[in-house]
Structure 1
Amino acid sequence: MFGRQRVQASGRSGAAHLLVCGNEKGGSGKSTLGIHIATDLLNRGLRVGILDLDIRQQTMARFFAYRARTASIKKLALPMPRVEILPAVRRERVADVEHEERCKLFRLLLDLRNDCDIVIVDTPGASTNLSDIVHSQADTLISPMNDSFVDFDVLGSIDPVTGQFGGTSHYADTVRHARRERRHADGAMLDWVIVRNRQATFSSRNERKVDNGLRQLAMQMGFRLVDGIGERVVFRELFPLGLTVMDSAVLYDLNVCSRTSPSHLAGKAEIERLVRALRLPLEAEGAQRAAIRRELGRPNEFRTRIAELLH
């Protein structure tokens, strides 16, 4: 009941779209995807909120700290998101820790969704209390994976010889539960998108088996398969600057890359294609949410609603 109340509150008219980057395997590319999607949306003029729940790594939060530093040093007018990190809770009882974490998370999510057009949440590469909660709150869940049996194992099992699908994994079951909770709460359906990263130019026999397994699992689990981004040096080179290939004008002005750089142009095209494939509520719907917020301002009713839900 506690979690369902918050879904109903956050799902009201004018609330920001919640995009969660989730996968219980570390190094799958969650933060990289989130960073590039965020900068693309920022450069479109949308207000973006970032919630970094990976308390140990904080990759997304650090990236935007680098971005702010670059903007300050170079005197650049870089579009910036609102970045939030949930502070660690320390209590003697585990139950008290989990309760306080939930309260803080729901307050922050409600505030972010009232203040932004799109909210992007980066989750850790492991199952946690907070990660499970945001999965059940998500409008869109993107789970990046590489074309290998190692990454496929996060979703389910597959016979490496026959290529036949064996069964779902713990993470797939977690998402199934999250979708059920969301549907029961407000009738909405979580859009689960598997993003295939680092795909090889030429497919191997192994990759074809993984592809067949993914398509079998997609029919059973109801997720969508889309192409992600390749392994590009330019992504790593730009990270310490807090910049991405979507910051084209700034990159050219700083002479970081040329307008004809094949890697830059290809990387930019990949991100643009990915964002289109995610089917996020942009342009007209984003403008409508902004109009609703301008009309309502920051009403006291919003804060009262938070208090009612948390007590």
Structure 2
Amino acid sequence: MLGRRSEKVVRREDPAHLLVCGNEKGGSGKSTLGLHIATALLNKGLRVGVIDLDIRQQTMARFFAYRAQTASIKSLDLAHPRVETLAPVRRDRVSDVTHEERCALFRLLLDMRNDCDVVIVDTPGASTNLSDIAHSQADTLITPMNDSFVDFDVLGRIDPVDGTLKNTSQYAHTVRQARRERRRLKGTVLDWVVVRNRQSAFSSRNERKVDDGLRRVSMQLGFRLVDGIAERVVYRELFPLGLTVMDAEALYALDVCQRSSPSHKAACREIDRLVRMLRLPIDDEGRQRAQARQRLSQRMAAGLRMPEFLA
């Protein structure tokens, strides 16, 4: 069942925007961010597709299964995305597994990008064949991380004295390769967004050091840094219902929270701000930014033109 569409939303003529939630460290909040972004976009009237590549856990797929059950049992009018998963491939040779997985994912991506406005891919917390393919195809890559140097290590190793980047991590190398491949094959630029999750209300010395390190590294690795979601109980307790803070009317109908709840309102503002900061091509501003990235990529591909005598 696809999401409801409002009159203000115009059907995209080009393939759906592909948003990938990626981080090779587990527990960073990929699924939590993905399902909240998906719900926010659904409630804007967009047709959303979800691909859960975490074959073992399938957190996002299970969340939307709960959502369908809640809507059916409680007779609620909830918007639903198209949810797809890939079955495990078992073959004698690793090369056969890799080939079949690659073909299955490309077929699914082609189908969903022609059927939806935005496709969100949730990847496992490890490097896999399917995850690498998703990264190479992404229009926007979201990498959530907690305010901790343990999570910071996913991006690179920093000098403990001056805070400069000593060398990049394997995951940063994967993203760099995905960017190069995308620019070579499609002539477009991957928008990499690092999202800081579980920020506390009060800034500690460690958080300030992490913030300073991230801002330095962002210039070297080429990602945008945005604030994500804080540590709130409401983000976790709604999971068994398949609901998020963005489903206000359903929450009020079930008496899960009150209309005047400050925590609920603050959580909604966080998700709204995050979706705006992603700058997806779902409105005029987002489309203009996507076109600007396209022009930049074309200029980069054309190279620097030089006078003949200098060349």
Deviation digits for residues 124-178 of structure 1 (CA, Å, limit 9, x no counterpart): 0000011001101000000000111100000001234543332210000100000
The 3-state SS of whatever aligns with 2:196 is: strand
Alpha-carbon offset, residue 249 of structure 1: 1.0
The aligned counterpart of 2:31 is: 31
Percentage identity across aligned positions? Answer: 76
The aligned counterpart of 2:106 is: 106
| Aligned-partner Cα distance in 2 for 1:115–1:266 | 33
The aligned counterpart of 2:16 is: 16
Correspondences of 1:272-283 after superposition (within 5 Å): 272-283=272-283
| Aligned-partner Cα distance in 2 for 1:152–1:122 | 20
The aligned counterpart of 1:182 is: 182
The aligned counterpart of 1:47 is: 47
Alignment gaps of 5+ in structure 1: 1-11, 288-311
- Structure that is richer in helix per residue: 1
Q: Please tell me whether residue 192 in structure 1 is matched to residue 192 in structure 2.
A: yes
Deviation digits for residues 78-122 of structure 1 (CA, Å, limit 9, x no counterpart): 100000001111111000000000000000000000000000000
Deviation digits for residues 269-295 of structure 1 (CA, Å, limit 9, x no counterpart): 0000000000011145999xxxxxxxx
- 1:140–1:192 Cα contact (<8 Å) kept: yes
Alpha-carbon offset, residue 253 of structure 1: 1.3
The 3-state SS of whatever aligns with 1:25 is: coil
Alpha-carbon offset, residue 263 of structure 1: 1.2
The aligned counterpart of 2:71 is: 71
Correspondences of 1:57-136 after superposition (within 5 Å): 57-136=57-136
| AA matched with 1:18 | L
| Aligned-partner Cα distance in 1 for 2:283–2:136 | 26
Deviation digits for residues 208-227 of structure 1 (CA, Å, limit 9, x no counterpart): 22112111111111100000
- 1:117–1:286 Cα contact (<8 Å) kept: no
| Aligned-partner Cα distance in 1 for 2:164–2:188 | 32
| Aligned-partner Cα distance in 1 for 2:13–2:102 | 23
Correspondences of 1:198-213 after superposition (within 5 Å): 198-213=198-213
TM-score (norm: length of structure 2)? 0.86
| Aligned-partner Cα distance in 1 for 2:249–2:160 | 46
Aligned residues between the structures: 276
- 2:63–2:239 Cα contact (<8 Å) kept: yes
| Aligned-partner Cα distance in 2 for 1:40–1:27 | 22
- 1:158–1:166 Cα contact (<8 Å) kept: yes
| Aligned-partner Cα distance in 1 for 2:23–2:205 | 25
| Aligned-partner Cα distance in 2 for 1:134–1:260 | 41
| AA matched with 1:172 | A
| Aligned-partner Cα distance in 1 for 2:29–2:166 | 25
| AA matched with 2:64 | F
- 1:145–1:194 Cα contact (<8 Å) kept: yes
Alignment gaps of 5+ in structure 2: 1-11, 288-311
Q: Please tell me whether residue 247 in structure 1 is matched to residue 260 in structure 2.
A: no
| AA matched with 1:121 | V
Correspondences of 1:264-303 after superposition (within 5 Å): 264-283=264-283
The 3-state SS of whatever aligns with 2:79 is: coil
The 3-state SS of whatever aligns with 1:244 is: coil
The aligned counterpart of 1:159 is: 159
| Aligned-partner Cα distance in 2 for 1:286–1:176 | 23
The 3-state SS of whatever aligns with 1:115 is: coil
More displaced 10-residue stretch of structure 1: 248-257 or 197-206: 197-206
| AA matched with 1:52 | D
| Aligned-partner Cα distance in 1 for 2:166–2:173 | 14
| AA matched with 2:150 | V
| Aligned-partner Cα distance in 2 for 1:161–1:235 | 37
- 1:160–1:209 Cα contact (<8 Å) kept: no
| Aligned-partner Cα distance in 1 for 2:231–2:201 | 11
CA-based RMSD of the aligned residues comes to: 1.6
| AA matched with 1:193 | V
Q: Please tell me whether residue 146 in structure 1 is matched to residue 163 in structure 2.
A: no
Alpha-carbon offset, residue 33 of structure 1: 0.2
| Aligned-partner Cα distance in 2 for 1:45–1:285 | 17
The aligned counterpart of 1:173 is: 173
Residues 83/286 of structure 1: CA separation in 2 closer, same or farther (3 Å cut): farther
The 3-state SS of whatever aligns with 1:131 is: helix
